[in-house]
Chains A and B, each alone.
Chain A
């Protein structure tokens, strides 16, 4: 390259503020141009200060000092700039390399900055996703702060409200059987269990936080032995022991709070009260109650086969219809039975002591 013609705008003393269009020439040693008044301006290339200029930094500014006068040539012609960038004259090379390096750094910093801003804007959404993913361990951890006494109080309050709708059966052979099986299952528990039987033909039983277990008479009538009832009780006891209700409550309240923080208040207080009674256990909770219930039966010396039988009965009993409430959340009953069978096969064979209960007397005592 011998000489390069550089179209640009010249700024300097005595010139218009918007600059004057000129054609400069860059050769091996210098940049030269004719000022509008005819004066010949020349600057040595190694004395030129080169930087990007302008609102969008699209211009290259060649600046030089000429005595007291300071001149600047602004070039925005793309082909010329590309040519200068690729094949700069040797004397201009350090300045061009510095400019290109700075441009690269600026671009990188801008990307970093934009990513940071994007991250900041996306933070609430990310937080919500993280919260949803961690909801279960988090609610378990939070539930750990609630004492057993508090939980029992909560359960009592809840049960008192429900009591009016239940037709409790008292002082029958069935009550004593439920109590006896329950005692055997919950030996050494931190909870003080209370056992109730309610007159209701549906195949159901439910647990209230703090140790209240309610069995429907329909379940006792459908069960063919005390072992089968024990299977259901073990499942319900695990809902209590694993504090599933409490965790579900904490989880719901927490999620509602998170949503309220992110999106705005959606009448939280009113909804929270309404939701208490509608609590249902998650699929994971049900599975956990199954697995641990099975273990509980084994360690209490009760034949876990009863649990499988009552599950099968429930499945068959209302073939195709909706499963009863205590089995309602999703894992399909056959799937749960298979899972339990697998676990039973894997576990060590237990030594079982039969339950000392006259099952016929129990069923007869309900006198349906």
Chain B
């Protein structure tokens, strides 16, 4: 598989985007809708499937597209090719606050298994497949469901997830217990299992749910500090328009309608 070697630069801290520099003839694939800007000379083309190989039969493409659909991506990928004379840039933005990490697939053994919908963009030639969770318990309670994304190839891929991303290398036999839902990506050699939290009291009142995800080395895992659903939950809880509390906006008069009104009268800076 011919991979394109691309240079990149990541901008921002918590709401990032990546700017990818393409040599003439090089291409990158992006998740549909992730493109932020592109320079003259870059041509966008939408392909059915993941664009990893143009020689695939129609049926092969259809299966590949179906797999993409299952992993929460759209049926089409967009390929950005530099048809200009010099180096040109295209950039892809993360869809929600979080961290964007570049992963050079050969460094992780050629295959990366990652959370659904976490793929942002990659060098053309990286293929997107599904990794089906064969353990029933993990699929049901492991926090990532039965379907994860599998990135194969020998190029660079960009993965995005919520909060701060933490990379952890696990030694052979080393285990890490992780809150379900915090796993972003793991290499193929990491064993992924679940473990009952242990005590009924903890299961009910610790707020950690019934199970931990257990990751056992060797291999590398990436964890996110703030899964999107958790942040979304807090936002909804704090949204006054749908009955939430105006948390953290309290004036001297306290939170609530009066505080909101006074705040609006006194300090509306828009």
Closest to A16 in B: B107
A59–B171 CB distance below 8 A:
no
| Residue A283 at the chain B interface, CB threshold 8 Å | no
Assembly CA distance A74 to B170 (angstroms): 14
| Residue B220 at the chain A interface, CB threshold 8 Å | yes
A11–B172 CB distance below 8 A:
yes
Within A48-92, the residues touching B (CB, 8 Å) are 53-57, 59, 61, 63, 70-72, 74
B136–A53 CB distance below 8 A:
no
Within B76-101, the residues touching A (CB, 8 Å) are none
| Residue A117 at the chain B interface, CB threshold 8 Å | yes
| Residue A140 at the chain B interface, CB threshold 8 Å | no
**A109 — which chain B residues lie within 8 A by C-beta?**
136
**A57 — which chain B residues lie within 8 A by C-beta?**
134, 191
Contacts across chains A and B counted by CB atoms under 8 Å:
74
B188–A70 CB distance below 8 A:
no
Q: Mark A103-145, 1 if CB is under 8 A from B, else 0.
A: 0000001100110010000000000000000000000000000
Assembly CA distance A360 to B192 (angstroms): 93
A307 to chain B minimum Cβ distance, whole angstroms, is 63
**B113 — which chain A residues lie within 8 A by C-beta?**
55
Assembly CA distance A56 to B189 (angstroms): 9
A18–B172 CB distance below 8 A:
no
Q: Which of B108, B137, B172 has the most CB of A within 10 A?
A: B172
**A17 — which chain B residues lie within 8 A by C-beta?**
108, 169-170, 187, 218-220
Closest to A70 in B: B172
**A53 — which chain B residues lie within 8 A by C-beta?**
189, 191, 216, 218
B191–A113 CB distance below 8 A:
no
| Residue B177 at the chain A interface, CB threshold 8 Å | no
B191 to chain A minimum Cβ distance, whole angstroms, is 5
**What bracket does the count of chain A residues touching chain B fall in?**
20 to 34
**B131 — which chain A residues lie within 8 A by C-beta?**
55-56
Assembly CA distance A54 to B219 (angstroms): 9
| Residue A320 at the chain B interface, CB threshold 8 Å | no
A114–B136 CB distance below 8 A:
yes
**What bracket does the count of chain B residues touching chain A fall in?**
20 to 34
A18–B134 CB distance below 8 A:
no
**A254 — which chain B residues lie within 8 A by C-beta?**
none
Which listed residue (A55, A59, A61) contacts B192, Cβ 8 A?
A55
Q: Mark B122-161, 1 if CB is under 8 A from A, else 0.
A: 0000000001101111000000000000000000000000
| Residue B186 at the chain A interface, CB threshold 8 Å | yes
Assembly CA distance A71 to B173 (angstroms): 9
A110–B173 CB distance below 8 A:
no
B190–A55 CB distance below 8 A:
yes
Assembly CA distance A11 to B169 (angstroms): 11
Within A246-278, the residues touching B (CB, 8 Å) are none
Assembly CA distance A70 to B190 (angstroms): 16
B189 to chain A minimum Cβ distance, whole angstroms, is 5
| Residue B109 at the chain A interface, CB threshold 8 Å | yes
Assembly CA distance A88 to B44 (angstroms): 55
Closest to B111 in A: A55
Closest to A12 in B: B172
| Residue A301 at the chain B interface, CB threshold 8 Å | no
B134–A54 CB distance below 8 A:
no
| Residue A93 at the chain B interface, CB threshold 8 Å | no
Which listed residue (A55, A70, A110, A114) contacts B171, Cβ 8 A?
A70
| Residue B263 at the chain A interface, CB threshold 8 Å | no
B134–A110 CB distance below 8 A:
yes
Within A136-179, the residues touching B (CB, 8 Å) are none
**A9 — which chain B residues lie within 8 A by C-beta?**
109, 189
**A367 — which chain B residues lie within 8 A by C-beta?**
none
**A114 — which chain B residues lie within 8 A by C-beta?**
136
Assembly CA distance A114 to B146 (angstroms): 12
**B66 — which chain A residues lie within 8 A by C-beta?**
none
A11–B217 CB distance below 8 A:
yes
Q: Which of A9, A11, A55 has the most CB of B within 10 A?
A: A55
A54–B188 CB distance below 8 A:
yes
Assembly CA distance A13 to B174 (angstroms): 12
In addition to A12-B172, A59-B189, 19 A-B residue pairs with Cβ atoms within 8 Å of each other are A9-B109, A11-B171, A11-B189, A17-B220, A19-B109, A19-B218, A53-B216, A54-B190, A55-B186, A56-B131, A56-B132, A56-B188, A57-B134, A63-B173, A70-B173, A71-B172, A72-B172, A74-B189, A74-B218
23 pairs, A vs B, C-beta closer than 8 Å: A9-B189, A12-B171, A12-B172, A16-B107, A17-B220, A18-B108, A18-B187, A18-B219, A18-B220, A19-B218, A53-B191, A53-B216, A54-B188, A55-B131, A55-B189, A55-B191, A56-B134, A57-B191, A63-B172, A63-B173, A72-B172, A72-B217, A113-B136
**B residues adjacent to A (C-beta < 8 A):** 107-109, 113, 131-132, 134-137, 169-173, 186-192, 216-220
